[in-house]
Amino acid sequence: MLIRNRRLRTTEAIRSLVRETIVTPNDFIVPMFVVEGQNVREEITSMPNYYRYSLDLLKKEVKELWDLGLRSVLLFVKVPDNLKDNKGTEALNKDGLMQRAVKAVKDAAPDMLVMTDVALDPYSSYGHDGIVENGQIVNDSTKEVLAKMSLSHVKAGADFVAPSDMMDGRIKAIRELLEQEGHVNSGIMSYSAKYASAFYGPFRDALDSAPGFGDKKTYQMDPANREEAVKETLQDIEEGADIVMVKPGLCYLDIVRDIRNKVNVPVAVYQVSGEYSMLKAAAEKGWLNHDAVMLEQLTAIKRAGAHMIASYFAKDAVKLL
Ligand code: PBG
């Protein structure tokens, strides 16, 4: 035997010395769900141990995340039904829930990086990411609203906007408006390769944002496509994205590696709600070891090429790291 691979696996000391991938608290973006009200902390039925917070308790939670070493959050809001319409009018309200949530986070932890979700679905009476006309999701008028929405978030203090809608040309529209208005240091994390995935179910429960008719296949990508993800991503970089994203995570790690090999900007992965709930359910039944599987999944996402991970496991994970 000239080569014995097991030599480098004999003790934890040597294993940790040769380990290629390490997950750290710096890798995480924490998704947070925000609701109106006071003293609200509601568990999301299909996401065990994950909550929606009113602004007062959001602040408390943000402080806790900060103390655990987490440094970025990604905000989503649950919009009351009476404020929903077809054009996402409420999304532009400078005193809207998102705009107040951004300020609340900065208030609680001034150095926390704040990213905001930019898409119409939580604000849409149809539950779609774009404006609906004659049963179609219209692209160009939607991207103008997304640009205004981004500007409004940045004015409220957001560091990054994160468009999750998959309209064509929206990164350019957002970037141009931010430049024009002097917000030259505001970042864009683009959901560049976002698939029409069945793993988003629990998230739509969390925000009550499921599409009222049809599905999202005319804008989100077909899970069967690989080359197209690279095309989408390169285009978003040309339009001015600072960070690109692949979503969901585990089923799409081939895409993550393709993109990592082809671009020179940071790559984010969104480990989505269904991925979270699947593991929680299996662990509750005693079928999987929660912590071990969680860390294995996060390591795999990083190994595939992610520079950062938006994950509902962030808080669970950092406690173990
Ligand atoms: C909507 C949006 C979705 C998610 C993030 N932004 C759902 C969708 O596209 O229907 C999903 C996140 C998750 O499942 O964790 N713009």
Is residue 249 classed as helix, strand or coil in its secondary structure? coil
Q: Say yes or no: CB of residue 99 within 6 Å of ligand 1.
A: no
The whole-angstrom separation of Cα 51 and Cα 312 is: 10
The tens digit of pLDDT for each residue in 25-66 reads 999 999 999 999 999 999 999 999 999 999 999 999 999 999
The whole-angstrom separation of Cα 39 and Cα 231 is: 45
- The domain limits of the chain are 21-320
- Output the CA 121–ligand 1 centroid distance in Å: 9
The per-residue pLDDT for 70 is 98
Query: Ligand 1 pocket: which of 203, 207, 311 to mutate (most atoms <8 Å of CB)?
Result: 203
247 as an active site residue: the answer is yes
Sign of the dihedral defined by the CA atoms of residues 297, 303, 306, 307, in that order: positive
Q: Say yes or no: CB of residue 200 within 6 Å of ligand 1.
A: yes
Q: Is 232 labeled as ligand-binding?
A: yes
Residue nearest to atom 10 of ligand 1 (CA): 200
Q: Out of 106, 194, 216, 302, which one is annotated catalytic?
A: 194
ipTM score of complex: 0.97
Q: How far is CA 276 from CA 113, 137, 138, 166, in A?
A: 23, 29, 32, 23
The per-residue pLDDT for 191 is 98
The whole-angstrom separation of Cα 232 and Cα 225 is: 11
Q: Say yes or no: CB of residue 204 within 6 Å of ligand 1.
A: yes
The whole-angstrom separation of Cα 240 and Cα 170 is: 10
- Output the CA 1–ligand 1 centroid distance in Å: 52
The tens digit of pLDDT for each residue in 6-28 reads 999 999 999 999 999 999 999 99
The DSSP string of 122-141 is GGBTT--SSEEETTEEEHHH
In the chain, the amino acid numbered 232 is E
Q: Out of 84, 216, 247, 302, which one is annotated catalytic?
A: 247
The structure tokens listed for 125 are 């009476």
The per-residue pLDDT for 31 is 98
The helix (H) or strand (E) run that includes residue 29 is strand 28-34
The structure tokens listed for 312 are 């509902």
Domain 21-320 of CATH type 3.40.50.300: no
- Output the CA 200–ligand 1 centroid distance in Å: 6
Instruction: Give the CB-side neighbour count of residue 240, counting CA atoms within 13 A.
Output: 21
What is the pLDDT averaged over residues 272-296?
A: 98
What is the pLDDT averaged over residues 248-277?
A: 98
Q: Which residues of 57-81 are buried (b: 16+ CB within 10 A; e: fewer)?
A: bbbebbeebbebebbbbbbbbbbee
Residues with Cβ within 8 Å of residue 254, at least 6 apart in sequence:
226, 304
Q: Say yes or no: CB of residue 275 within 6 Å of ligand 1.
A: no
